[in-house]
Amino acid sequence: MGAWVLHVDLDQFIAAVEVLRRPELAGLPVIVGGRGDPTERAVVSTASYEARAFGVGSGMPLRIAARKVPDAVILPVDHEAYAEASEAVMATLRGHPGATVQVLGWDEAFVGIDADHPEQVARDLQRAVLDRTKLHCSVGIGDTLVRAKVATGFGKPQGVFRLTAANWLEVMGPRPTKDLWGVGSKVSRRLAALGIDTVADLAAADPAALAGEFGPRMGPWYRELGRGEGAAVVDDTPWVARGHSRETTYQQDLTEPADVDAAVRVLAEAVLDDVAAEGRPVIGLTVKVRYAPFETKAFTKRVPETSDRDVVLARVLELAAARIDRARAVRLLGVRAEMAMPDDAREGHTPTRGGW
């Protein structure tokens, strides 16, 4: 028996849930985003494979997506439906004998399993998920979390692929660093400035050079990613949120300072409600602003640990007043509060792309 990490990733999850609810949409280009109105400011949450064939992708402005696929069916986001479908999938994974399940989001999870034939386990999981939910998934198999996660991309859709120390550099070595989980475009450009263009380059990079560019913790960590190394044990300890955030894209730009202040206050109050439910003190704040037409800035400030709602609100408003340019029109605002972590929280961190 061997210990394996399986990464289960649902194929076009949100679009697939919508097609299950509306079978007549099967085979059509389906785009899900915002309130389903491409005349409003919103982005694509997901697109069916038929829509992706036209170049539509997650995060694309909905109006551009509609322009790329004039015949697309555009639907509003329905969080409750996706959460319900996701829970059914995760319950199915947990029901597999001997499985340890670490949920990453609505549509993906790591599964730790001891098995002689991990491909057979992967196919069993695919079949079980399909039987219970009518949703298809792809499975990456690895000897670390990173390798399993990256492997899934080679198995999509509905496939299985294995990446281990034995074939990691053969498969990933020639690829650009941005193909790694946890290395986005910005980091990839910084690596390129050091002469590191491919995964193989990163795997062989000088740790001291990486530490000089990214710091003593992140530098060596990026080299570890380049080798596909890192955690090899799936951890099913319940995830504890490090922070809570809210953001809003406004249908009309905010041009008056008073309107900006009021909008920041609304977001901060919502975040504070989320924080209050956690029962942990706030230790950091971030205010995010997107100026028209599309320049985004984020301003972060550490604050003395506090659970006083009024104090946190005052600090958010101070940060916004000090850093947001009142002469510019505002398209989006966001507020995030970082909380102190409990002693028994899951250790380490999992690489992700983008987000807050």
Show which residues are catalytic. 108
Phi, psi of 336 (to 5 degrees): -130, 140
The rounded distance, in Å, linking the Cα atoms of 326 and 320 is: 10
The rounded distance, in Å, linking the Cα atoms of 118 and 155 is: 14
The answer to whether 291 and 331 are in contact (CB under 8 A) is yes
Phi, psi of 353 (to 5 degrees): -100, 140
The rounded distance, in Å, linking the Cα atoms of 316 and 284 is: 10
DSSP H helical segments within the chain, as ranges? Answer: 13-21, 49-52, 62-68, 79-94, 118-133, 145-155, 168-172, 185-193, 199-203, 207-214, 218-226, 257-278, 309-323
The rounded distance, in Å, linking the Cα atoms of 339 and 205 is: 35
Name 138's bridge partners: 9
Question: For residue 149, what are its two tokens?
Answer: 């996660």
Picking from 199, 238, 231, the residue whose alpha carbon sits closest to that of residue 5 is 231
Alpha carbon 212 to chain centroid, angstroms:
27
The rounded distance, in Å, linking the Cα atoms of 195 and 317 is: 42
